[in-house]
Copies of this chain bind each other. A is one copy, B any other.
Amino acid sequence: MSAPALYDPYRVCPSRQLLDRIGDRWTVLIIGTLEDGPLRFSQISRLIDGISQKMLTQTLRSLEADGLVVRTVYPEVPPHVEYELSALGRTLLEPLEILRAWAVDHMDEVATARAAALG
C-alpha cells in the first residue's frame, strides 16, 4: 500500500457499504426473522431453511460487529444464546420493507421482461 487506492468503492458513497451488507444471501432473511423479537441460534436456523450453520454464525457475528444485532449469552448449561435487533437494526426495518414492497409490486414485470428477453 505505497499509495492510497485511486478507487475505493467504499468511499464513493456510503450506500455502497449498505448494499454490500444487505446484498449478501442471508443478512436480510436473518433480520426478517428477528423482526418480531429475540430468537435463539437454533430457532433462526430452523426458520431460515437452507442456511448452513457456518453462514448463520458468520452473518450473525458480522451483524453484531456492525451494531445491528445484539447477542446475549445466558450462562447456563446447556448454552443459551439469544439474538435480537438493536435500536439501530430496527431503524433498518422500514427501508427494507419499502424495498420489499417494491419487489412485491414490480417483480412480476421484471419476470415478464426477463422471459420476453429470452424469446
Whether B7 pairs with A49 at a CB distance below 8 angstroms is yes
Q: Please give me the residue from chain B that is nearest to A97 by CB atom.
A: B15
Most buried by B among A9, A29, A95: A95
Instruction: Say yes or no: is A74 at the interface (Cβ < 8 Å to chain B).
Output: no
Q: How many of chain A's residues have a CB under 8 angstroms from any CB in B? A: 47
- From B29, B67, B92, B100, A112 is in contact (CB under 8 Å) with B67
Whether B100 pairs with A13 at a CB distance below 8 angstroms is yes
- Taken together as a complex, chains A and B put the C-alpha atoms of A25 and B9 apart, in Å, by 9
Instruction: Say yes or no: is A1 at the interface (Cβ < 8 Å to chain B).
Output: no
| Residue-wise interface mask of A (6-49) relative to B, using a CB-CB cutoff of 8 A (1 in contact, 0 not) | 11010011111111111111001100000000000000000001
Chain A residues within CB distance 8 Å of chain B = 6-7, 9, 12-25, 28-29, 49-50, 64-68, 88, 91-92, 95-96, 98-104, 106-107, 109-110, 112-114, 116-117
